[in-house]
Amino acid sequence: MKKLSLGILIGVAIFVFAGITRGIVFVPAIVVPSGVTVSVPDVAVDKAQALVPLEPGSLERTIFIHYANGKVVVKGKAPACYKLLGVQWKSLPISYVINPNVESIVPGAISVSNETWDIATSRELFNDTPFFDSSADWDSDYPDGRNEYSLGNYPQKGVIAVTVIWSGVPLGGRGRQIVDYDVMFDTDYAWGDASINPAVMDLQNIATHESGHGLGLADIYDSVCSAVTMYGYSSYGETQKRILEQPDITGLQKLYGY
């Protein structure tokens, strides 16, 4: 698919409630906040029900887009520098699958990224041992019950990585929960270990950010929060997102405790 230029207007949010489409918002791609809830393909509903029985009409898909560079300044009161998506995992720890093509770039980078979140709370968030499977990919059309990390070519310029979150309300239960997430690192970028070669996009750095989405944290775009892991922009050579800042930890602990 041909890449879209940043100057093209793209539709970024289709909100669906009780089967009724509520509207589409078009804004310039260069300043589009990610984390928008978009329409759910019909095939996704049956797939999700096979994973976790959900209340009818409760399945939602949220896509987080991690942009290269950029700057958004939000004026107003001092920000908290963290934002919750409004969903979380009810069943822990989370198992995840890594495509060997990703693992071969920097062995262990994804596991280390996930462990970074684990040590910030007393709960075991991620399984200590990941699975490896060459079929692991980014499932944007329906959840398949596997939380996957893979490489791919997202059809828009300036996108470093994307994460899709599938969530719903369990049948007969209360509260929305995450049922699946996938992360795709864009092949438009050279990936590696930026502590060795600052000319690459640091895999561990970006993976830590994307796994934060997988846990239920949203992007932050206020420029005063640019040091936090969940800040929505990154660039070649950046490694500061490998470790969590206090706002990242605060957000995580609001979801999963201390």
User: What single-letter amino acid sits at 179?
Assistant: V
Rg from Cα positions in the chain: 17
Q: Residue 193, class by beta-carbon neighbours within 10 Å (0-12 exposed, 13-18 middle, 19+ buried)? A: middle
Residue identified by tokens 């987080």 is 64
Encode the chain (258 residues) as per-residue pLDDT tens digits. 333 333 322 233 222 223 322 232 222 223 345 676 777 888 898 888 888 899 998 999 999 999 997 655 555 667 899 999 999 999 999 999 999 999 999 999 999 999 999 999 999 999 999 999 999 999 989 999 999 999 999 988 899 999 999 999 998 877 889 999 999 999 999 999 999 999 999 999 999 999 999 999 999 998 899 999 999 999 999 999 999 999 999 999 999 999
Report in angstroms the alpha-carbon separations of 55 from 48, 59, 68, 111.
Answer: 11, 8, 37, 33
Give the C-alpha separation, 116 to 47, whole Å: 31
Report in angstroms the alpha-carbon separations of 9 from 38, 56, 239.
Answer: 16, 33, 31
In this structure, are residues 149 and 104 in contact, taking their beta carbons and an 8 Å threshold? no
Give the C-alpha separation, 40 to 20, whole Å: 12
Question: b vs e for 6-43, b when ≥16 Cβ sit within 10 Å of the residue's Cβ?
Answer: beeeeebbbebeeeeeeeeeeeebeebbbbbbbebeee
Give the C-alpha separation, 182 to 154, whole Å: 13
Q: Return the CATH number of the domain spanning residue range 9-256.
A: 3.40.390.10
The number of angstroms, rounded, from the C-alpha of 136 to the middle of its chain's C-alpha atoms is: 16
Q: Which token pair is 5? A: 């230029």
Helix (H) or strand (E) holding 25: strand 20-28
Give the C-alpha separation, 127 to 97, whole Å: 11
